[in-house]
Structure 1
Amino acid sequence: MLTRLLDTVTAFRQQHLAAFHLFTAAVVCASVAWAVLEFFKPIGKRRAKNGTKPRLPPGPPGAPLFGYLLDLKKADGPSLRSKLRNLAAYGEMTTLHLGSKTWVLLNSHRVTEELIAKRGSQTNTRSPMPVSSGLVSRDRRSLLLPADEWAERRRVMHGLLNGTALRQYGAWQEQESAQMMAEYVLRPDRWYKHHYRYANSVVVRIALGERPHKSTRELEEMQNAVTFFVGSIGRSIVDWFPDLARLPRRLQVWRPYWAALGRWNHDLYSKWYHPVRDRVRDGTAPPSFVRDHLMHPDTRFRGDDDDLMYVAMQLIEAGSDTTREALNIMAMAALERPEAFAAARAEVDRLCGAGRDARLPVLADMASLPYVCAMAKEILRWHPIFLLTPDHVASQDIEFEGYYFPAGTGFTINGVAVCDECDDPRVFRPERWLDGHETDIAHGLWQFGGGRRICVGYRLAQRSLFINIARLAQPNGPYNPEYLNLEALDEPFPVKATIRGEEYKALILKEAEAAGVLEEAGSASE
């Protein structure tokens, strides 16, 4: 009888062994999945350190583990603009869980002012970015650094803002603008190349003290440095799941590619920066931000030599690219709304004269040309260069209008939604900025960021936009969209700039000769 019972148990066990193994495997997989989801749970779904449960604005639910990350990463260019507009439909704030991070999109001026400007001391750090900040930037680009590492770099960057520096840099901006205008006269079909040469030359001169004499290849490499760095931000899944960077080095399969990009970037920076550094040390360097602020003994910068290099070179990166893009957008606006361009020209004529009696506008005219100043602001609002700003991360728990944001929550300005917060947002209308704050490009505009993290060079950018918009509006006839330059494949859109009279051509070339840049304008246009 016992034997029959054992045989029955054995038969039952064999019969159900497969099911037992499947059940065990399912339990193990479920346990692992639960552990992974718990470990990588986004900040906004974790209780704060004091045990308080987060209370967040509404937002799309997203997928398990990844949240809204896969949807956001699929969007690019026009599709990202459309997506950001749609996300603003949730209200003034939209919550996105992105991997193990939580972003709160700020979709209005009001909440941006409240959380980025007024609470800047609580929202001025950054979330960890092991790839774009760590491997690509070697934890030295201040844009992505947390507050404690960013503060020292920010302190020395304030040397860009004092009145003496702005006056010195202004003289250089006017001289480089004189060359750009001469280049427009000599080769109008290369208008977009003239924008980049101006932007790069100004910022290199400010940062390093010398007009750049670089080959086309060297300039392209610097442009690539900007493109590769910006393209690395958030591209790797590791930046959205920063705890993956704690894995043993041999398991970090992403590391070789990004580390190689970081070495290339460092070597490129060194080729531009080290000769200037050496001239500062031996006393032969001309005036510059590096000589007079960054490396000056009175500054007492507490970083090492590589820190100095990254502070200087990131100024070149940022200043070259954004000014170039803004001037290209100006040309686009002239096509879209030529009457606005004509209004700017009329304002310049009233101040600077017309025809044979005309003079070129100068930076000292800024307060007297409010429409041109308004045009600069509208350029950045109408077609925002930065659709999203880097996250402003809460360094402490924040209560705001019934919401409870735990420390680590990222607040990100939705540049598309905020720039659309006006009447007829798709219409280019500089008049909307004629409010008494025209000469403050950051007032009411968040394209330079905000709070303590606002771009330290925004006043320099404003002055570059002003002088070139005013000077391009003065002599140019309409930008002609019918002209197709099929050979210029790198032209952002096909146009041809025309000049409205021989007297303006003579004025521009005369000013370029007086500024000592006419010969260079000719060689740059060949």
Structure 2
Amino acid sequence: MDLTYSYLLQTFRQFTWTSAFLSAAALFIGSIVAVREIFKPLHYKKPIKGKRWKLPPGPAGVPLFGNVLQFQRARRDEVDFTKYLSSLASFGEMATLHMGSKTWVLLNSNRVVDELISKRGSVTHERPYMPVALGLVSRGNRFFLQETKRWADARRVLHHLLTGSAVKSCGQLQELESVQLLAAYLHRPREWYSHHYRYSVSLMHQIILGERLLKSTGELDHLRGIIGGFIQCINGNMIDFFPQLDALPKVLQPWRKRYERMGQIHWEGFRTWWEPLKQSVAEGTAMPSLARDVLLCKDTKYPGGDDDAMYLAMSTISAGSDNPRMAMNVFVMAALSYPEPFGKARAEVDRVCGHDANRLPDVDDMTSLPYLCALVKEVIRWRPSVPMIPQHQSIQDLEFEGYLFPAGTEFVINGVAAGQDFPDAESFSPERWLDGENESKVSHGLWHFGGGRRICVGYKIAQTELFLAFSRLIYCFDFAAAGPYDNLRLRHYHAGEPFPVEMKVRNPDHEQLINNQAERFGVLESAKAKF
């Protein structure tokens, strides 16, 4: 009897442990299946009856994460990232990536960008929600990442400012700031890369806030740090690839504190620029500007609150200054690597302005300097400062050339691949843009300002800003390498000199021209000063 009882007890225990193990295993497997189902990207989900998704090929990934880990590894180094984006063109004009719970379709050719972003912009104009980059870090207020409903108000405000007759008045500010740029180059040549940033920030500061820039180098570096941190955050954190995690209780979101702190730092940094302007508006001493006349004016129809206005103003200054800064660094790199096109550009400017330093080129010379206009476009194409344009999300199912994309697909302009979609793409050749018609249209054939409804509203401002800087620097200065460099490694976010350069004023006549113009515009002393 005892033996029978012991046997039954042992059998029961074994059965209990086996059941527990099987239950735990079932729960574990069920959890994995549930997680995979929750985070399954669109193109892996079954469509409604009668449809079948068909997407372009793409690289293999790993379970759950797809291609996110490859993408994140490549982003750690700018050269590796450029090579990674370039390699995706091997799949064709489009490449499908499984990015966490998202479906990305990279657009690798100028043709498909035109077709899907421009011609079908009514379908592909939305932005996907980014709970970290837009939510925690930007407090929902960086307008170019906002959903279309909110973004449209900001777009309306900026459209009137940065187009039409406003562009001409901006050109006058650009001429003044470019004179200070030349004088700063002349008197403090070792800080050439810092002069690029001050030039681009000064311009946007006047347009948006109405005042000449009097910030210290430290304050500018802090702003650039904010911009750099934000850019690295876009598609640079895992949570935005699994936005469903944002629905978890806050106690189960350990990442929140880190990104909320970053958002607080950004808010406080913007506030130091915004509050003085608000005070001058309240005192009636503010100069005409977007902030005074639209964002803070009670008579306008701008619907946003104070934070909305601040982020709109400071985001415009940030984007409108950092991208031109990087393009100007590329300009210098191209001058070192390909001196022949710059010799041709100088000959063209000499023909118009006189080789004897008769006068500086100005905005009105754009129609007379087609090669210089083409050079601006080639700088943007050759080493794009924005290698990948933030994604456009489709608002409905989309058929295109035999493919069927589900609603919610995120179309991404591959700026690197699109820039290489040219014959002999690695060479720096402004001639590729000379067609007698579109040299001065910087968005024609280029997608680095975005496209469709979401195209950067300030691209014309950026074009004249770069045209003036490039034409005047070419006219007045010679560039030479001051040490070894790699023209693939531009170190855009490096704190010091991005690559070694020696620049000298062309001759005493051009030196005198610069000093005379700087005195005329009243910027000579500020150009000499070390802030």
**Structure 1 Cα separation of the partners of residues 239 and 276 of structure 2:** 36
**Structure 2 Cα separation of the partners of residues 209 and 202 of structure 1:** 10
- 1:79 maps to 80
Q: How does 1:442-457 map to 2 (within 5 A)?
A: 442-457=443-458
Correspondence 1:468 to 2:469? yes
Per-residue CA deviations over 1:49-99 (Å, capped at 9, x if unaligned) read: 677342111112311111111111111211111111111111111111111
Moved more, 253-262 or 340-349: 253-262
- In the TM superposition, residue 282 of structure 1 has moved relative to its aligned partner by 3.9
Name the amino acid aligned to 1:391.
Q
Correspondence 1:403 to 2:409? no
Say which SS state the counterpart of residue 178 (structure 1) adopts: helix
- 2:66 maps to 67
Say which SS state the counterpart of residue 497 (structure 1) adopts: strand
**Structure 1 Cα separation of the partners of residues 248 and 495 of structure 2:** 45
- 2:498 maps to 492
Name the amino acid aligned to 1:221.
H
Say which SS state the counterpart of residue 479 (structure 1) adopts: strand
**Structure 2 Cα separation of the partners of residues 39 and 478 of structure 1:** 56
- In the TM superposition, residue 483 of structure 1 has moved relative to its aligned partner by 9.0
- 2:158 maps to 157
Name the amino acid aligned to 2:520.
A
- In the TM superposition, residue 274 of structure 1 has moved relative to its aligned partner by 2.0
Per-residue CA deviations over 1:292-338 (Å, capped at 9, x if unaligned) read: 34344564111111111111100111112111111111100001100
Q: Is the 8 A contact 1:48 1:407 kept in 2?
A: no
**Structure 2 Cα separation of the partners of residues 204 and 133 of structure 1:** 23
- 1:434 maps to 434
Say which SS state the counterpart of residue 477 (structure 1) adopts: strand
Say which SS state the counterpart of residue 474 (structure 1) adopts: helix
Q: Is the 8 A contact 1:475 1:504 kept in 2?
A: yes
**Structure 2 Cα separation of the partners of residues 140 and 48 of structure 1:** 34
Q: Is the 8 A contact 2:294 2:302 kept in 1?
A: no
- 1:359 maps to 359
Q: Is the 8 A contact 2:68 2:100 kept in 1?
A: yes
- 1:329 maps to 330
- In the TM superposition, residue 10 of structure 1 has moved relative to its aligned partner by 4.8
Q: How does 1:79-228 map to 2 (within 5 A)?
A: 79-228=80-229
Name the amino acid aligned to 1:428.
F
Say which SS state the counterpart of residue 385 (structure 2) adopts: coil
- In the TM superposition, residue 281 of structure 1 has moved relative to its aligned partner by 3.9
Name the amino acid aligned to 1:442.
S
**Structure 2 Cα separation of the partners of residues 129 and 434 of structure 1:** 40
- 1:54 maps to 53
**Structure 2 Cα separation of the partners of residues 39 and 483 of structure 1:** 51
Moved more, 129-138 or 248-257: 248-257
- Judged with a 3 Å threshold, the aligned counterparts in structure 2 of structure 1 residues 118 and 299 are, in CA distance, closer, same or farther, namely farther
Moved more, 231-240 or 166-175: 231-240
Q: Is the 8 A contact 2:94 2:106 kept in 1?
A: yes
**Structure 2 Cα separation of the partners of residues 334 and 457 of structure 1:** 26
**Structure 2 Cα separation of the partners of residues 371 and 355 of structure 1:** 20
- 2:490 maps to none
Q: Is the 8 A contact 2:163 2:457 kept in 1?
A: no
Moved more, 29-38 or 57-66: 57-66
Per-residue CA deviations over 1:397-452 (Å, capped at 9, x if unaligned) read: 11111111111110001111110011111111111011221111011001101100
Correspondence 1:248 to 2:249? yes
- 1:422 maps to 422
**Structure 2 Cα separation of the partners of residues 260 and 482 of structure 1:** 40
Per-residue CA deviations over 1:136-157 (Å, capped at 9, x if unaligned) read: 1010101211111211111111
Name the amino acid aligned to 1:276.
L
Q: Is the 8 A contact 2:138 2:263 kept in 1?
A: yes
- Judged with a 3 Å threshold, the aligned counterparts in structure 2 of structure 1 residues 51 and 145 are, in CA distance, closer, same or farther, namely farther
- 1:236 maps to 237
Correspondence 1:506 to 2:512? yes
- In the TM superposition, residue 482 of structure 1 has moved relative to its aligned partner by 4.3
Q: Is the 8 A contact 2:105 2:409 kept in 1?
A: yes
**Structure 2 Cα separation of the partners of residues 231 and 338 of structure 1:** 33
- 2:275 maps to 274
The TM-score normalised by the length of structure 1 is 0.95
**Structure 2 Cα separation of the partners of residues 4 and 398 of structure 1:** 73
Paired-residue identity, %: 46
- 2:488 maps to none
Moved more, 163-172 or 390-399: 163-172
Moved more, 114-123 or 515-524: 515-524
RMSD of aligned residue pairs (Cα, Å) = 2.0
Moved more, 145-154 or 22-31: 22-31
Name the amino acid aligned to 1:390.
P
**Structure 1 Cα separation of the partners of residues 92 and 82 of structure 2:** 17
Say which SS state the counterpart of residue 29 (structure 1) adopts: helix
- In the TM superposition, residue 248 of structure 1 has moved relative to its aligned partner by 1.0
- Structure 1 unaligned regions, length at least 5: none
- Judged with a 3 Å threshold, the aligned counterparts in structure 2 of structure 1 residues 35 and 440 are, in CA distance, closer, same or farther, namely same
Name the amino acid aligned to 1:339.
E
The TM-score normalised by the length of structure 2 is 0.94
**Structure 1 Cα separation of the partners of residues 409 and 5 of structure 2:** 61
Aligned length: 520
- In the TM superposition, residue 13 of structure 1 has moved relative to its aligned partner by 4.3
Name the amino acid aligned to 1:341.
F
Q: Is the 8 A contact 1:370 1:439 kept in 2?
A: yes
- Judged with a 3 Å threshold, the aligned counterparts in structure 2 of structure 1 residues 480 and 252 are, in CA distance, closer, same or farther, namely closer
Q: How does 1:244-323 map to 2 (within 5 A)?
A: 244-297=245-298, 299-323=300-324
- In the TM superposition, residue 102 of structure 1 has moved relative to its aligned partner by 0.8
Correspondence 1:341 to 2:346? no
Name the amino acid aligned to 2:42.
I
- Judged with a 3 Å threshold, the aligned counterparts in structure 2 of structure 1 residues 355 and 51 are, in CA distance, closer, same or farther, namely same
Say which SS state the counterpart of residue 96 (structure 2) adopts: strand
**Structure 2 Cα separation of the partners of residues 478 and 391 of structure 1:** 37
Name the amino acid aligned to 1:520.
S
Name the amino acid aligned to 2:303.
R
**Structure 1 Cα separation of the partners of residues 50 and 484 of structure 2:** 65
Per-residue CA deviations over 1:351-394 (Å, capped at 9, x if unaligned) read: 011115x2100011111101111111100110011111111000
Say which SS state the counterpart of residue 245 (structure 1) adopts: helix
Q: Is the 8 A contact 1:159 1:293 kept in 2?
A: no
**Structure 2 Cα separation of the partners of residues 165 and 325 of structure 1:** 24
